[in-house]
Structure 1
Amino acid sequence: MDSPMLLSLLVVALLIFLTAFFVAAEFSIVKVRGARLDQLVLEGNKKAVSAKKVIENIDDSLSASQFGITLSALGLGWIGADQIETYIHTLVEQLNISPSLVTFLSFLIAFLLIAFVHVVIGELVPKTLAVHEAEKLTLLVARPLYVFTKIFYPFIRALNSMARITLRLFGVQTTAQETAHSEEELKIIMTESFRSGEINENELAYVQNIFSFDERIAKDAMVPRMNMVTIDEEDTIEEIIAVVEEHQYTRYPVTRDGDRDDVLGFVNAKQLFTAQLSKNDAPFESFIHQLPLVTEFTPLQEAMVKMQNAQTMMCLVIDEYGGTAGLLTIEDILEEIVGEIRDEFDRDEQAEITEVAPKHYRLSGLVLTQELEERFGIEIEDDVDTVGGFVLSQKANARTGERFLLPGDHELIVSEVDNHRIVFVDLILASHEEEEPLSE
């Protein structure tokens, strides 16, 4: 092979490489995650700094990639096809066929060969590689692409302007590229990340809980009035010690004459007992702290801010009539995001949802009907908030062992009743239904 032919083949190889480079650049900068580049920049990765500049000006970067692809493809068609055809013509002539057939076969073989190399090596291979190794390729191509964009910036700018003018002629208005994701898009991204193993089930559950946090209200997380543990302003220190010993809480609402609709505030048991040990004779009223008020329909986020501003760990939830509906604590709010929080004093406390056997669950009567739908796909249309409320709506004097049918042929069995309060029920899932996995 003579030197001119070798040089031509080297030029062809260079043009194919440039095509592959620009194709890889185009797909990798679209696929790469901006948040990951931000992390690499903070870690001091110099290549990531260039990559960040490319991503921040992605319109110009994509135009530069297209410009480079077009130039290299035109060069490959102009120089490559002609040189390859000349070389193949020499080989085909040795077949002793007619000159016209030699010309046709040389052109056809050269065309097919160039097309194959251009499509496979120049387009498909770098595209596939860029999609699967977006971060590595972005870091590799960012600096050269940035320099190329700067060199040919006037041409790229002019081409972009002409493209926008053409779009306007057809009534298409161009706007700045939208880089933010909606809540639904983020949910889809997180679900796909979980399926691919990038995040675990707990992390997915936390994110889903955070998204639903804004929709939660105080009524969803509060301790109901019937379950509130209170002390009375007239209780003796011995009676208060007995209550604290039994329940092991730190803070207790204080009532007047045992009336939960007349809550004076709350006391901190540690503060009260410390004063007793130090022989502090301050009156009991001086240990009562003001308790912030929220309504049943106050968003949890607003209730949390109210507690933070008041520097307290709890607030009183009132109903539409001004009576006490329940008690809301910071722990209750956190459990809406991270799930149930149990400490050393909760070891005897039964979880709200416990799997007893396959398709058999023990549920607290306080489990929300919304949670029943989210975890098991069982939708209760009655205007009630809790499982216990559903049972009482079906039968006000429900007793242990009574059964109630749910949509989908699922069944609730009352397992524990305290006076008229449904403490626990058993959920039996229909055998023909596949239960949804619990999101702890």
Structure 2
Amino acid sequence: MNHAEFEWGLIFWNLLLVALLVFLNGVFVAAEFAIVKVRQSRLAQLSGEGSVLARQALRINRKLDAYLSATQLGITMTSLGLGWVGEPAVDDLIVTPLLERFGLAGDNKLSHSVSFIIAFAIVTFLHIVFGELAPKSLAIRRTEGVALWLSWPLHAFYRLFLPVIWLLNHTANLVLRAIGIEPAGETETAHTEEEIRILMSQSAKSGVIDKEEMKLFDNVFEFSDRVAREVMLPRTDMDVLYLNRPFEENLKVVYESRHTRYPVALADKDHIVGFVHISDLLTADPREKHDLRRWLRPILTVPESMEISKVLRLMQKRKSQLAIVIDEYGGTAGMLTAQMILEEIVGEIHDEFDDDLPSVVIKGDVISIDGRMLIEEVNDLLGIEIEDEEVDSIGGWLFRLLEGNVEVGRSVTAHGHVFEIAQAERLRIQRIHVTKAKSAPASDATDAGASGREPVRGRNGEEG
């Protein structure tokens, strides 16, 4: 074998080594992304079905710190090897012959510098494209398959270099502790609420989950933030039976309202003493005199600031379907039922006796909303940002803007919408019609941001 054949043979083996190092770098990169992104629940399912690969991948996923260190070690080793072998091999095979072809080769420093820069650029390109980007994209798009097929090779590499990985991990932890930072572990990889919302939103956009599932998911998160005051039926809407009234009169309330359970008060709603079940009342002879005390059952009372999740747990513990909400002064603020709380998650539940309109009714350009809807729910519905720390409901907000002048037909223009009272009872706004505000001339427009007030229009459209 002459010298030229030996050199070409050496170049060939170096190039083969370069290709192998790029491939191994890609394997470690793909493994790193796959073991992080793969769903542990899916691996557990496959493992339960008898998949050996899934069983090994599950073990790796449960020891992420250690195996991520293994992938990092592999990436570092292959990258260093690529830098050591790749540049000379590419220089000898591609760059030097190319420079000789154009008469630029020589022993001067300039030709060596140009040769090094070109060879380095080519190796870097191969490293990034085939050793980083392509494997990463493959692992993201085929997470499950990559995690399964690379589980055993990664485990073998981990076992082979376990002493080195252990030393590197402990050294890194010592450095972190020396500067006052506690190393993170697998148990600290939990997602925040906002991160989970983003993940679920992306899943909804890609069609993995439908809109109804996404709505339920949002409701679950918002459920934990709700308090009794925001969900309760206000005291003005409560149907109450009174101990100081004739049985026939109380029975008339039952026939008209058709509820299952009724709070019972002494003389007013601030003195609730218990509740009665409709079955007890309907089985009694209406021609006889009856005292509601004979059917009276203890009723749960909760403060208006209590979270509804805690109220629900309390109801379950006490086996109660009804709770009276008490304000800060000890008076009755409203009433909560188990159904009201559950509706915060699953949406409104109507039965054959419900005559009320749904909270939201859309007819053409008009959105009819219940005055008791929470401001934040209206914000989500309309895509606006009403803020008011004094009231919780949209009816209360409109009442404040109208300064208590409640009259059907009166309206307020705010946040690009017209809010018009559609139904009211005395001073309580029951239903509001919302429409998009038409652009007004600049001279007639009121800048709410500057003045703090919006145009208020009366029944006939005049400003008030």
TM-score interval for Structure 1 and Structure 2 normalised by the shorter chain = 0.7 to 0.9
5+ residue gaps, structure 2, are 441-464
Correspondence for 1:296: 304
Deviations 1:8-59 (A, max 9, x none): 7655544333222112112222333445444544555433332232223222
Residue 360 of structure 2 corresponds to residue 353 of structure 1? yes
Q: Secondary structure at the match of 1:341?
A: coil
Q: State how many pairs are aligned.
A: 424
**Mapping for residues 306-345 of structure 1, pairs under 5 Å:** 306-345=314-353
Correspondence for 2:24: 18
Correspondence for 1:402: 410
Residue 196 of structure 2 corresponds to residue 186 of structure 1? yes
Residue 396 of structure 2 corresponds to residue 389 of structure 1? yes
State the 1:229 CA deviation.
Answer: 1.5
**Contact 1:63 1:160 (8 Å CA) reproduced:** yes
Residue 61 of structure 2 corresponds to residue 51 of structure 1? no
Deviations 1:107-152 (A, max 9, x none): 8887666554433222221122123322321122122211210121
Instruction: Summarize the Cα distance change of 1:71–1:379 in structure 2 as closer, same or farther, 3 Å threshold.
Output: closer
Give me the whole-angstrom Cα distance separating, in 1, the residues matched to 2:331 and 2:85: 88
Residue 137 of structure 2 corresponds to residue 131 of structure 1? no
**Contact 1:47 1:140 (8 Å CA) reproduced:** yes
TM-score by length of 1: 0.80
Instruction: Summarize the Cα distance change of 1:71–1:248 in structure 2 as closer, same or farther, 3 Å threshold.
Output: same
Comparing 216-225 with 417-426, greater Cα deviation is found at: 417-426
**Mapping for residues 1-400 of structure 1, pairs under 5 Å:** 11-41=17-47, 44-76=50-82, 114-164=123-173, 171=179, 173-177=181-185, 178-233=188-243, 242-257=252-267, 259-273=268-282, 284-346=292-354, 348-358=355-365, 360-376=366-382, 377-381=384-388, 383-393=390-400, 394-400=402-408
Instruction: Summarize the Cα distance change of 1:386–1:124 in structure 2 as closer, same or farther, 3 Å threshold.
Output: closer
Give me the whole-angstrom Cα distance separating, in 2, the residues matched to 1:132 and 1:117: 21
Alignment partner of 1:423 out of 424, 430, 453: 430
Comparing 74-83 with 348-357, greater Cα deviation is found at: 74-83
Deviations 1:233-290 (A, max 9, x none): 4667765654444333211112335x3233231111134445779xxx9975332211
Letter in 2 for 1:341: I
Instruction: Summarize the Cα distance change of 1:89–1:247 in structure 2 as closer, same or farther, 3 Å threshold.
Output: closer
Letter in 2 for 1:381: D
**Contact 1:296 1:325 (8 Å CA) reproduced:** yes
**Contact 2:28 2:71 (8 Å CA) reproduced:** yes
Instruction: Summarize the Cα distance change of 1:282–1:199 in structure 2 as closer, same or farther, 3 Å threshold.
Output: same
**Contact 1:219 1:297 (8 Å CA) reproduced:** yes
**Contact 1:266 1:291 (8 Å CA) reproduced:** yes
Q: Secondary structure at the match of 2:269?
A: strand
State the 1:84 CA deviation.
Answer: 6.7
5+ residue gaps, structure 1, are 434-440
State the 1:199 CA deviation.
Answer: 2.6
State the 1:292 CA deviation.
Answer: 0.9
Letter in 2 for 1:385: D
Q: Secondary structure at the match of 1:415?
A: strand
State the 1:313 CA deviation.
Answer: 0.4
TM-score by length of 2: 0.77
**Contact 1:378 1:406 (8 Å CA) reproduced:** no
Identical-residue share of aligned pairs (%): 37
CA RMSD of aligned residues (A): 3.9
Instruction: Summarize the Cα distance change of 1:282–1:63 in structure 2 as closer, same or farther, 3 Å threshold.
Output: same
**Contact 1:378 1:407 (8 Å CA) reproduced:** no
State the 1:74 CA deviation.
Answer: 4.5
